[in-house]
């Protein structure tokens, strides 16, 4: 019978070689064994291994990838239970990951034979892989974690998992046995950073060993089972060249950004969630000279600076007793006593805005940070309200003057509705007119229409400014030649040959 648990007593306690039946798996396979190629059943091509990024319309394929019949899950439960009865978990934990996997694979193969489970070799192989992942890793999440093309993993209860690939959110066939298994895995993830998630503390942030950021919100707050969100850590952050290749910016805008980074403008990168702010910040740091002392402050270390002289700092959430929290503001304030030449703040969300602006104002030119806003104008008002909410009793005008005196450039990142990411503004903060902060766009992105495939079309163009406000800085670094050229080449002319112009934001 398929998947019925037999009462054969031998099945409970025979880890080693019982029947000589041919083993489906050659023994010395590495942990993440690729699936056999010549598989008899159509289901066998389930291998969701990384490498090739999916084709433009991966939805149905992804769906097929990891969905199994109920029978498969029944068998898996049976085998899993027999395995748990058989192995000594404390012994297993003494083995390294590869040896432990080997051990489990051996025992599971035995169990499958003893129980006369009828399965194709490919299915067996997958079952082995699944069970190893459950016992040793993050269960059904493992294949998703192994893929490099995924930006986010979003688990909405045991039965539903979405991923983001190439800017598009798609549903996968990945599912957990039940909400209890999902909670177990959440628990396993957060316990690695010394935290706990359960009904009494149902919200938790954590990090995977590879640096991916994790948030868990458990029932009863999440009504349909725990919601687990993973922002995957990219081993290789995108570089400006790649952003050019993807059409996020033009080669000229790349040059302008490089100059802005190099000549020590104070830069704010603005954008929505997942719009590419951190990526862009990382790119901008690429043009910092190698003899500068840089201090980075982040909620969880994501930046990958190439310079030799970097000190990386990270905030700390409060512990279970609610003590020991170190905020971004604490870090930024401390930074100032560390003789930084540049301060880089991963994400400005609160009162640290004040300290960052002060730092920018007091000789730490070239400092940078990101912030959540949908336009450069909104970025200014977000900064303003962060400072007001931080309890600094300053008149609005003073706050605005402070912003104008500190920030030189705002770079806006956006994720457009077709999933593509663009740098939509390179904008200078100029000064004040009465109580209003004046902004000047250098480069903007205009969407123009939609092509036959539903992709948005558009173009980047300069607004006709030939001498940005940071011209003197550029002179000091002998960058004016490159700068003028890049700006001139970014101009777009209308059908009468007149420049399109208009720089006021
Ligand atoms: N210009 C771009 N083109 C394509 N993918 C991008 C681009 N910028 C960022 N990404 C990808 O988008 C995801 C989110 O980027 P990230 O910089 O972390 O966003 P944010 O900091 O705004 O939340 C990452 O997987 C990143 O590799
Ligand atoms: Mg970010």
Instruction: For the chain of 505 residues, list the mean pLDDT of each consecutive stretch of 10.
Output: 40 38 38 39 40 42 56 83 80 79 86 84 85 85 91 95 92 91 91 85 88 92 95 86 94 96 96 94 94 94 92 87 90 94 96 94 92 97 94 92 96 93 97 95 93 89 92 96 94 78 70
List the strands of the sheet with 213-217, edge to edge: 168-172, 161-165, 150-156, 227-231, 213-217, 203-207
Instruction: Give the residue among 347, 343, 320, 323 at the shortest CA–CA distance from 333.
Output: 343
Q: Say if residues 440 and 296 touch (Cβ distance below 8 Å).
A: no
The residues, any chain, with a CB within 8 Å of residue 79's CB and separated by 6 or more, are: 108, 111, 112, 115, 117, 127, 131
pLDDT value of position 2: 40
pLDDT value of position 39: 37
For strands 342-345 and 368-372, give the pairing. parallel
Question: Which ligand has the minimum distance to the alpha carbon of residue 236?
Answer: 1
Kindly report the number of other CB atoms within 10 A of residue 189's CB atom: 23
| pTM reported for the whole predicted model | 0.75
Distance of CA 278 from the midpoint of ligand 1 (Å) = 7
Distance of CA 347 from the midpoint of ligand 2 (Å) = 7
The number of residues making up the chain comes to 505
The residues, any chain, with a CB within 8 Å of residue 69's CB and separated by 6 or more, are: none
Cα separation, 133 vs 187, in Å, equals 15
> Contacts from 303-306 at CB under 8 Å and sequence distance 24+?
303/278, 303/344, 303/346, 304/237, 305/344
Q: Return the SS3 of 269.
A: strand
Kindly report the number of other CB atoms within 10 A of residue 447's CB atom: 15
pLDDT value of position 14: 37
Q: Which atom of ligand 1 is nearest to the CA of 422?
A: 1
- DSSP state letter for 256: H
The residues, any chain, with a CB within 8 Å of residue 491's CB and separated by 6 or more, are: 461, 462, 464, 499, 500
Kindly report the number of other CB atoms within 10 A of residue 363's CB atom: 8
Q: Which of 250, 274, 346, 456 to mutate to test the pocket of ligand 1 (most atoms within 8 A of CB)?
A: 274
pLDDT value of position 67: 62
Specify the residue with its C-alpha closest to ligand 1, atom 7. Answer: 276
Specify the residue with its C-alpha closest to ligand 1, atom 25. Answer: 151
Q: Say if residues 324 and 308 touch (Cβ distance below 8 Å).
A: no
Q: Where are the alpha helices (DSSP H) in 147-245?
A: 179-191, 240-245
Specify the residue with its C-alpha closest to ligand 1, atom 23. Answer: 274
Question: Which ligand has the minimum distance to the alpha carbon of residue 152?
Answer: 1
Distance of CA 238 from the midpoint of ligand 1 (Å) = 8
- Whether 278 lines ligand 1, by a CB cut-off of 6 Å, is yes
């Amino acid at each position: 019978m398929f998947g019925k648990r037999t009462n054969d007593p031998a099945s409970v306690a025979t880890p080693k070689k019982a029947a000589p039946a041919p083993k489906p798996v050659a023994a010395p396979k590495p942990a993440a064994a690729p699936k056999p190629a010549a598989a008899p059943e159509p289901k066998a091509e389930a291998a969701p291994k990384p490498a090739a990024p999916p084709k433009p319309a991966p939805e149905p394929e992804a769906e097929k990838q990891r969905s199994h019949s109920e029978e498969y899950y029944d068998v898996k439960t049976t085998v899993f239970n027999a395995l748990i009865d058989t192995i000594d978990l404390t012994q297993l934990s003494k083995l390294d990951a590869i040896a432990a996997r080997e051990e489990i694979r051996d025992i599971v193969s035995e169990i499958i034979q003893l129980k006369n489970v009828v399965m194709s070799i490919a299915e067996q192989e997958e079952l082995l892989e699944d069970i190893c992942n459950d016992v040793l890793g993050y269960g059904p999440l493992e294949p998703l974690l192994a893929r490099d093309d995924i930006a986010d993993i979003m688990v909405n209860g045991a039965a539903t998992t979405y991923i983001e690939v190439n800017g598009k959110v798609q549903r996968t066939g990945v599912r957990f046995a039940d909400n209890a298994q999902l909670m177990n895995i959440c628990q396993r993830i957060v316990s690695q950073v010394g935290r706990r998630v359960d009904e009494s503390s149902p919200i938790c942030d954590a990090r995977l060993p590879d640096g991916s950021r994790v948030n868990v919100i458990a029932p009863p707050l999440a009504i349909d089972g725990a919601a687990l969100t993973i922002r995957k850590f990219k081993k290789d952050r995108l570089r400006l060249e790649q952003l050019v290749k993807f059409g996020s910016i033009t080669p000229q805008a790349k040059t302008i950004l490089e100059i802005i980074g190099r000549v020590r403008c104070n830069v704010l990168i603005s954008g929505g969630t997942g719009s590419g702010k951190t990526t862009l910040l990382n790119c901008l740091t690429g043009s910092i000279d190698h003899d500068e002392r840089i201090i980075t402050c982040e909620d969880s270390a994501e930046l990958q600076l190439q310079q030799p002289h970097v000190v990386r700092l990270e905030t700390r959430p409060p512990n279970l007793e609610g003590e020991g929290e170190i905020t971004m503001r604490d870090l930024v304030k401390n930074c100032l006593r560390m003789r930084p030449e540049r301060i880089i703040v991963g994400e400005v969300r609160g009162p640290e805005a004040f300290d960052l602006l002060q730092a920018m104002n007091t000789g730490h030119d070239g400092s940078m940070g990101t912030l959540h806003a949908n336009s450069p104008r909104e970025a200014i008002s977000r900064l303003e309200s962060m400072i007001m909410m931080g309890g600094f009793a300053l008149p609005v005008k003073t706050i605005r003057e402070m912003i104008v005196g500190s920030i030189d450039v705002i770079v806006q990142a956006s994720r457009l509705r077709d999933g593509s990411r663009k740098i939509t503004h390179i904008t200078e903060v100029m000064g004040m007119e009465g109580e209003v902060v004046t902004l000047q766009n250098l480069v903007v992105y205009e969407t123009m229409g939609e092509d036959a495939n539903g992709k948005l079309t558009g173009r980047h163009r300069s607004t006709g400014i030939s001498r940005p406000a940071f011209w003197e800085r550029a002179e000091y670094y002998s960058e004016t030649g490159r700068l003028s050229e890049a700006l001139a080449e970014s101009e777009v002319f209308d059908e009468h040959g007149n420049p399109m112009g208009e720089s006021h934001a």
